[in-house]
Structure 1
Amino acid sequence: MKKLILTSILTASILNADTIFVSNEKDNTISVIDSVTNKVVKTYEVGQRPRGILLTKDYSKLYICASDDDTVQAMDTKTGEILYNLPSGEDPEQFALHPDGKELYISNENDGIVTVVDTVEKAVISQIEVGLEPEGMAVSPDGSVAINTSETSNFLHWIDTKTKKIIHNTLVDQRPRHIEFSKNGDMIWASSEIGGTIVVVNTKTKESVAKLGFKIPGIFKDLIQPVGIKLTSDGKYAFVALGPANHVAVIDAKTYKVIKYLLVGKRVWQLDFAQNEKKLYTTNGVSGDVSVIDVDSLKVEKTIKVGRYPWGLAVIPSK
């Protein structure tokens, strides 16, 4: 009887576990974490300098920006096998998948372009000139607009996904890094790493509705460098990775006020939710680990050692 109960518990644990993928920039690997045990269960070798990662709509493949190989790799999420490479342009760093699951928008930092790839035909369908050092990339929930950040030009470039033309530019603070759409697409949140700010922009008017700065007791201002952003789907919280400040800012997404700062690992970079947004995982590059934050209590629960310089995150939810 005890054996049966134990087996049932273990089976339930396996069934309820999300699968978390982490790209390790210096090791050229992908770590796979079980969200129930919070342990690394697999490590896969991939291309050189993996940074941005994302999943296909059916979760069967993980797309990987292998930056120093100048390609996007498609990895089988069950076996870890690299199935094929997609043309990406030079030095792909971040990308975003259109809601149709077909078009992949890739920022090419060295060339000042956004490359659009048809993932079905495995072919480049457009290259769009943007500002200097393009970095962040996002596509609206309705698929009508893609937005790219240019680090040196300090712009958000709004791209019509039908015409593949820039339709608007929004000037922001120095070195914009990341863009995050709200669930319904009415707002975007954009981080400026060197500027030390977050700007919230209304996607209809393209006007700024809020601008946030950060102040952490005992931390030099120059170390507070906002990068990755995640928004809860209920519109309650925004979480912002603050880079070498080694903290995640928790923001009331309605009032735009900072509620709390959470101490995580060194040089926190990106974030993603797991367990139905009950947990938030962060990649901490310099310390080579991932922090686990409980979203309800707003407390850091655990640290998981991964590879060297973890960068991106992607999560397959449990069925």
Structure 2
Amino acid sequence: SMAHFIDTDSHEVTDNVLVDTRPRFAQFKPDGSQIWVSAEIGGTVSVIDSFKREVVKKIQFAIAGLRPETIQPVGIAISADGKKAYVALGPANHVAVINTETYEVEKYILVGQRVWHLDFTPDQKTLITTNGNSNDITFIDTATDEPVQSVTVGQQPWGVAISPH
């Protein structure tokens, strides 16, 4: 399981970085210095130095009362200031809030069932998660990192895209 670096001019793979099993999502920090890659089956997020192309930190998750195999990182959203990363933890039904300087999990936010992906509103005040098995989305206040409301939507929402307008 690898993260691949591809030259978009030549269409050639220029580098490969080993990550955990079944990589699902990759997200650059806003300054481009790092790429965060989730590994669903591996249960980790690998933080890769974009320039050295090596893993600088592997983040693991532990939620009291949950078996490790139920914690499956998928979607990642990093705040515009680059200080916080939010990771959807799949069937664990939580979002991890990570300090991007210390790589410490600061909090786990309980959301709907099977949280897949997440994204910020344009003002970054709200994070919206898609919760596939509970057929809803959850709104999280990013100032408090607390869920505000869940809203029922269609069956098995998977992704979220928020208009900048």
Task: Compute the TM-score of the two structures, normalised by the length of structure 2.
Answer: 0.98
Which of 28, 45, 70 lines up with 1:198 in the alignment? 45
Secondary structure in 2 aligned to 1:191? strand
Q: Which runs of 5+ in 2 are unaligned?
A: none
Equivalent of 1:251, from 86, 93, 98? 98
Give the equivalent residue in structure 1 for 2:61.
Answer: 214
Query: SS of 2:158's equivalent?
Result: strand
For residues 3 and 145 of structure 2, the distance between their equivalents in structure 1, rounded to whole angstroms, comes to 31
Q: Does 1:155 align with 2:22?
A: no
Match for 1:276: what amino acid? D
Match for residue 145 of structure 1?
Answer: none
Which structure has the bigger radius of gyration?
1
Is contact 2:135–2:157 with CA below 8 Å preserved after alignment? yes
Q: Tell me what 2:15 maps to.
A: 168
Deviation at 1:275, TM superposition (A): 4.4
CA distance in 2, matches of 1:237, 1:184: 13
Partner of 1:310: 157
- 2:139 aligned residue: 292
- Counterpart of 1:243, as a letter, is G
Q: What is the CA–CA distance in structure 1 between the aligned matches of 2:8 and 2:33, rounded to whole Å? A: 17
Identity of aligned residues (%): 49
Q: Distance in 2 between matches of 1:316 and 1:197?
A: 29
For residues 260 and 167 of structure 1, do their structure 2 counterparts lie closer, same or farther at Cα, with a shift above 3 Å needed? same
- SS of the counterpart of 1:277? coil
Cα separation, 2, equivalents of 1:201 and 1:192: 13
Q: Distance in 1 between matches of 2:86 and 2:112?
A: 15
Task: Tell me the SS of whatever aligns to 1:222.
Answer: helix
Which amino acid counterpart does residue 187 of structure 1 have in structure 2? Q
Question: What pairs up with 1:30-41 in 2 under 5 angstroms?
Answer: none
Aligned match for 2:75, one of 210, 228, 232: 228
Matches within 5 A, 1:1-319: 154-318=1-165
CA contact (8 A) 2:122 2:163 kept: no
Runs of 4+ aligned residues of structure 1 deviating over 3 Å after TM superposition are none
Amino acid at match of 1:161: T
* Partner deviation per Cα, 1:95-145 (whole Å, 9 max, x = no partner): xxxxxxxxxxxxxxxxxxxxxxxxxxxxxxxxxxxxxxxxxxxxxxxxxxx
Task: Give the counterpart letter for 2:80 in structure 1.
Answer: S
Shift of the alpha carbon at 1:317? 2.4
Aligned-pair distance for 1:208? Answer: 1.1
**Distance in 2 between residues matched to 1:202 and 1:221, nearest whole Å:** 27
Contact 2:17 2:55 in 1 (8 A): no
Q: Tell me how far 1:207 sits from its aligned partner.
A: 1.1
SS of structure 1 residue aligned to 2:90: coil
**Structure 1-normalised TM-score?**
0.51
Per-residue CA distance 1:173-202 (angstroms, 9 max, x = gap): 111100000112110000000110001001
Secondary structure of the residue that 1:313 maps to in structure 2?
coil
Q: Measure the CA separation in 2 of the matches of 1:222 and 1:167.
A: 33
What SS does the aligned partner of 2:36 have?
strand
Distance in 2, Cα, partners of 1:184 & 1:258:
21
